Homo-oligomer: A and B are copies of this chain.
Amino acid sequence: MTRILVTGSKGTLGRPLVRELKHRGHEVWQLDLQHQADEMYIRADTSSYRQLERVFEQDYDYVYHLAAEFGRINGEEYYDTLWQTNVIGTRNILEWQKKKRFRLIFASSSEIYGDKHAEILSEDIPLYHSIIQQNDYAVTKWVNEIQCMNFEKRFGLEIVRLRFFNAYGPGEHYHHYRSVVCLFCYRALHNLSYTVYKNYHRVFMYIDDFIPTLANVVDNFIPGEVYNIGGNEFRSVEDLSNIILERLGLDGSRVTYMPQDAHNVQNKRPDISKASKAFGHNPGVTLEEGVPRTIEWMRQVYASTVKH
């Protein structure tokens, strides 16, 4: 049996990942910030080295390090927490890895590509092109990758880096820093206004296409490698909005259409062939299938407040 620790286990990706890994027969330990009843859960803040001491009293074969402050605007508004959790926190995990020698799976982000307007983003771009990320969240994720690479080189640590491109679906609870799918669905369901930026494209990936890939990493772990984990569906956010409006029978009068978000990055599209080969990554759920499932999940979770 493989013993696995998942940091950030109560997050949007942590919860389904823990479920999947348990389902596959692994011994799964959890770490997050809240208190929990579960005896295989340890409350700790990764930015506190001391709190991690207890976590690493036992050994793990693999650690999925998902614990992080998430998102561009969240990162700007909570930059102090961002740097503490993402950068001091990840360095703490690396220090423990140096001592305990588990294998580390690090959750990076598509944000590290900054505003690189490559037709298709392949994993080695940042090694050959200088990228100035435009917000602190993106910078922390690239810093984390540098920390990982330096620790691999200096101490022979075994690390795999994964760059996540927007996943969406059931399990993502609303607040205003969440993914665009979560935002639009929630706000449309509640008859709240939202803004659609025109000509703004993203690759969308449904959560059920994502979690099996993530769980597969322990079965084909190649130290030092880095993989894009993204979807196949390259669609405009206007398309997304229209799917939601149609599903809910709304006319879009609560939607504002704008030319472009100055602080955000347009048209990010990953090359996912490396993850396809290594982990059988093969996203197939379309927005037309995934969005209704997300809406139905939200109707249940927010049953007392939804308007449609």
Contacts and interface: CB of A to CB of B under 8 A. Distances in A.
Interface of A: 49, 79-80, 83-84, 87-88, 91, 126-136, 139, 143, 146-147, 149-150, 153-154, 263
A143 B139 contact: yes
A30 B67 CA distance: 39
A91 B80 CA distance: 9
19 contacts: A49-B80, A79-B88, A80-B91, A83-B83, A83-B87, A83-B91, A87-B87, A126-B130, A127-B132, A128-B130, A129-B130, A130-B131, A132-B146, A132-B149, A134-B150, A135-B150, A136-B147, A139-B147, A154-B263
Q: How many copies does the complex hold?
A: 2
Nearest to A153: B134
- A interface, over-half SS: helix
Nearest to A126: B130
A139 to B, nearest CB: 6
Contact of A88 (B80, B126, B135, B147): B80
A134 B148 CA distance: 11
B83 A136 contact: no
Contacts of A79: 88, 91
A222 B126 CA distance: 30
A179 to B, nearest CB: 23
A150 B131 CA distance: 12
A79 B133 CA distance: 22
A130 B132 contact: no
A49 B77 CA distance: 13
A262 B225 CA distance: 23
A133 B91 CA distance: 15
Given A79-B88, A84-B88, A87-B87, 20 more contacts: A80-B91, A83-B83, A83-B84, A83-B91, A91-B136, A126-B130, A127-B130, A127-B132, A129-B130, A130-B130, A132-B146, A132-B149, A132-B150, A133-B146, A134-B150, A136-B147, A139-B143, A139-B146, A139-B147, A143-B143
Contacts of A133: 146
Contacts of A263: 154
Contacts of A132: 127, 146, 149-150
Contacts of A154: 263
